[in-house]
Amino acid sequence: MNGIELKSPDEIDKMSRASRIVAEVLEALRHQIKPGVTTEDLDDFAEKFILDRGGKPAFKGYQVRDQVYRHTLCVSVNEEVVHGIPSKRVLKEGDIVGLDLGVIVDGYYGDAAITVPVGVIPEQVHRLLRVTEEALHKGIAQAVVGNRISDISHAVQAHAEAARFSVVTDFVGHGIGRKLHEEPQVPNYGEPGRGPRLKPGMALAIEPMVNMGRPETAHLADGWTAVTRDGSLSAHFEHTIVVTETGPRILTKL
């Protein structure tokens, strides 16, 4: 199946334990986010939380070509789309913060992301967050046996664009299991009815990134942080799911 590994019940159990820690960390982080907190504070909190529960941060030490990621969390603020690096940056009222996190338990991965407001944000920005999370669940609803990968992709794109937002095409979701990124890729755009057919045991990280403005992105000089090219706000939500005979099972949900 194009290098796609179907997971056994035992493997899914290990992924479930990793994914549960991911869900618990993200829920705890929601309550840490307020004006005056630094993105580094969030990273420190997440790492301690994971280690205390017997997990291992999945992103720390992750290597792409000659670049090594040295943090537990990706923290992306406002126009930052994904892969924002924790720093001394202080959060302020009206910001939005994308939190992306992976955990390893017994050699298996869980991965999820949420975008959270800092204090009070305008209604249109709330709408961006709401639509992006809805788009994630529209995609997940298509993750049923017999559908194809692009049925997920199309559902995400259709929902986001119906709300007059744009879908980032430079980054995609992915298979997940013994590695953080496995086959298949799961784009957030495209025509339905294409790509590999979904089978029981396929584990996927589905992750819409949706911009208030145009879809194009650029990389900052740090080599990791992706931002919207037009400076518009961006939201990111992600779940790790498994395709089962009875429908999609979300592992990164409390």
Q: Residue-wise pLDDT tens for the chain (254 aa)?
A: 579 999 999 999 999 999 999 999 999 999 999 999 999 999 999 999 999 999 999 999 999 888 999 999 999 999 999 999 999 999 999 999 999 999 999 999 999 999 999 999 999 999 999 999 999 999 999 999 999 999 999 999 999 999 999 999 999 999 999 999 999 999 999 999 999 999 999 999 999 999 999 999 999 999 999 999 999 999 999 999 999 999 999 999 99
Q: Which helix (H) or strand (E) holds 241?
A: strand 239-244
pLDDT of residue 1: 59
> How much is the pLDDT for 66?
87
End-to-end CA distance of the chain: 31
| Angle at alpha carbon of residue 7, lines to 252 and 178, rounded to 5° | 70
Residue 238 DSSP code: B
Peptide bond between residue 57 and the one before it cis (omega within 30 degrees of 0): no
Contact 3, 49 (CB under 8 A): no
User: How far is 55 from 53, CA to CA, in rounded Å?
Assistant: 6
Q: Report which of 85, 113, 96, 75 is spatially closest to residue 224, judged by C-alpha positions.
A: 85
Phi, psi of 153 (to 5 degrees): -55, -50
Q: How far apart are CA 227 and CA 141, in angstroms?
A: 29
In this prediction, residue 65 carries a pLDDT of 85
Supply the DSSP symbol for 145.
T
Question: According to the CATH classification, is domain 9-250 in 1.20.1440.60?
Answer: no
